[in-house]
């Protein structure tokens, strides 16, 4: 059985979600507890600001899904010392519904922002951690790997993650159309979350000539160090503007930080060379009248929101197409999972042929044949073995409906499970 316990933004407020956050050490500790008690064979914990999800698998407990889910939930609430009722906040799934949920999650269909990519990096990190610490079972590992395959295909063949759906990325999308962007000097005014995200998006586009200023010099220094960019002094902002071609304002100031006259003076010193201002602040940091000054372009948050909303609508239109692809990958994974029922027969077949080959090889070795003849004899046997086994395994899969037909499967296992 495959199971899932999920506490996510759809059902649980932040006050509940934060109580189920897992540090790296806690992940290791909880997984050790639950595996020691033999509740699961494989487990992966995904812990982000929007969700805590525990994926687990135990092939031995097929048919006992509800019982195992309850055991995992009990261990979870005990470990986190959560004494209120968890029922209103938790979502549980089993079998194919777990696989479908994970495929949707990696594809960006379950995220707060449709198509966002950060969730892929978070799942990859959780997967790598689980694998490094030997927490995965073969089925769980294959399911997660298949989800990455599905997500990559969907993001490549749909527009589910195309177009900016955040203000910070909308700035970068707008700037990427500017021909001289890579040679332009960019100033970011402000050191909050939006400024940080904007800088990160710019750096991902290999736009690196960036400087940050803030009323708190320490905060500007901190962002500059974190992003490996320059910082400057905020004290005389109008004079500073002369050096820059693109200026992005994102502060919590309650009034304009520069005046119409300030920008007019800046442009005189710049000899009316083009300058683009982005005002992402509410209240606005720049007077709207500056757009009348020669060479000045002003883009405010409302201009960008229109673009973001249009892009979001386009993404929503791609959901049905993405779900169709998910169905295809689900079918492929379920066929592989079902075919695992044939493993005992296939392993027995391989073992029996290996024994026969060894027996013939031993007879060959006992004879006074040349080594070259023995090698040719062995190579010929291996070719026959491979061809015969491949055809036989193909027929076994056809007869048993890839392991779904239990009666046929039982007969096949009886035929090939003898020991000689």
In this structure, the answer to whether residues 150 and 175 fall within a common structural domain is no
Q: Which residues contact 72 (CB under 8 A, 6 or more apart)?
A: 3, 5, 34, 39, 40, 54, 56
DSSP summary character for residue 370? -
Query: Does residue 55 form part of some domain?
Result: yes
In this structure, the answer to whether residues 411 and 292 fall within a common structural domain is no
Residue 78's CB is within 10 A of a number of other CB atoms, namely 11
Query: Does residue 325 form part of some domain?
Result: no
In this structure, the answer to whether residues 355 and 392 fall within a common structural domain is yes
Of 143, 160, 177, which closes a domain?
160
The CATH number assigned to the domain holding 101 equals: 3.30.460.30
Query: Does residue 326 form part of some domain?
Result: no
Query: Does residue 190 form part of some domain?
Result: yes
Q: pLDDT tens digit string along 81-128?
A: 998 999 999 999 998 999 999 999 999 999 888 888 889 989 999 999
pLDDT for res 341: 64
Question: Which of the residues 31, 49, 364, 367 is marked catalytic?
Answer: 49
In this structure, the answer to whether residues 35 and 155 fall within a common structural domain is yes
In this structure, the answer to whether residues 368 and 294 fall within a common structural domain is no
Q: Edge-to-edge strands of the sheet including 42-47?
A: 42-47, 51-57, 2-8, 91-94
In this structure, the answer to whether residues 120 and 30 fall within a common structural domain is yes
Q: pLDDT tens digit string along 191-201?
A: 988 899 999 99
> What is the pTM assigned to this prediction?
0.67
Q: Inform me whether the pLDDT recorded for 419 exceeds 50.
A: no
Of 114, 134, 160, which closes a domain?
160
In this structure, the answer to whether residues 285 and 406 fall within a common structural domain is no
Q: 278 pairs with which residues across the strands?
A: 248, 299
In this structure, the answer to whether residues 139 and 195 fall within a common structural domain is no
In this structure, the answer to whether residues 43 and 78 fall within a common structural domain is yes
pLDDT for res 27: 96
Query: Does residue 335 form part of some domain?
Result: no
Contact call for residues 313 and 165 (beta carbons, < 8 A)? no
Query: Does residue 62 form part of some domain?
Result: yes
49 classed as catalytic: yes
Q: 10: domain range?
A: 2-160
In this structure, the answer to whether residues 173 and 101 fall within a common structural domain is no
Query: Does residue 14 form part of some domain?
Result: yes
In this structure, the answer to whether residues 150 and 29 fall within a common structural domain is yes
Q: Inform me whether the pLDDT recorded for 403 exceeds 60.
A: no
Query: Does residue 75 form part of some domain?
Result: yes
Q: How many domains does the chain have?
A: 3
């Amino acid at each position: 059985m495959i199971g899932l316990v999920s506490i996510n933004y759809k059902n649980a407020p932040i006050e509940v979600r934060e109580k189920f956050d897992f540090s790296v050490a806690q992940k290791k500790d909880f997984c050790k507890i639950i595996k020691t008690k033999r509740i699961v064979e494989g487990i992966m914990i995904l812990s982000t600001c929007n969700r805590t999800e525990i994926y687990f698998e135990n092939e031995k407990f097929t048919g006992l899904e509800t019982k195992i889910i309850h055991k995992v939930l009990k261990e979870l609430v005990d470990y986190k010392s959560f004494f209120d009722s968890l029922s209103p906040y938790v979502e549980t799934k089993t079998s194919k519904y777990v696989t479908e949920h994970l495929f949707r999650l990696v594809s960006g269909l379950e995220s707060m922002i449709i198509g966002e990519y950060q969730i892929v990096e978070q799942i990859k990190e959780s997967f790598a951690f689980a694998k490094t610490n030997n927490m995965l079972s073969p089925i769980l590992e294959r399911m997660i790997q298949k989800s990455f395959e599905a997500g990559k295909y969907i993001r490549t063949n749909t527009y589910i993650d195309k177009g900016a759906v955040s203000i910070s990325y909308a700035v970068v999308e707008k700037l990427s159309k500017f021909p001289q962007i890579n040679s332009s000097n960019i100033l970011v005014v402000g050191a909050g979350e939006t400024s940080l995200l904007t800088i990160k998006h710019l750096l991902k586009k290999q736009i690196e000539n960036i400087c940050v200023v803030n009323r708190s010099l320490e905060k500007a220094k901190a962002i500059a160090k974190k992003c490996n960019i320059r910082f400057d002094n905020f004290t005389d902002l109008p004079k500073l503007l002369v050096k820059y071609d693109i200026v992005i304002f994102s502060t919590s100031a309650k009034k304009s930080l520069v005046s119409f006259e300030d920008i007019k003076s800046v442009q005189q010193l710049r000899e009316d060379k083009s300058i683009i201002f982005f005002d992402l602040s509410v209240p606005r940091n720049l007077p709207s009248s500056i757009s009348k000054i020669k060479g000045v372009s002003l883009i405010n948050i409302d201009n960008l929101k229109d673009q973001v909303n249009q892009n979001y609508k386009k993404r929503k239109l791609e959901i049905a197409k993405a779900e169709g692809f998910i169905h295809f990958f689900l079918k492929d994974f379920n066929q592989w999972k079902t075919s695992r029922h044939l493993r005992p027969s296939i392993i027995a077949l391989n073992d029996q042929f290996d024994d026969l080959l060894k027996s013939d090889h031993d007879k060959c070795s006992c004879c006074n044949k040349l080594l070259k003849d023995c090698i040719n004899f062995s190579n010929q046997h291996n070719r026959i073995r491979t061809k015969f086994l491949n055809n036989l395994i193909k027929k076994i899969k056809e007869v048993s409906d890839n392991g779904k037909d239990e009666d046929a499967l039982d007969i096949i296992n009886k035929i090939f499970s003898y020991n000689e």
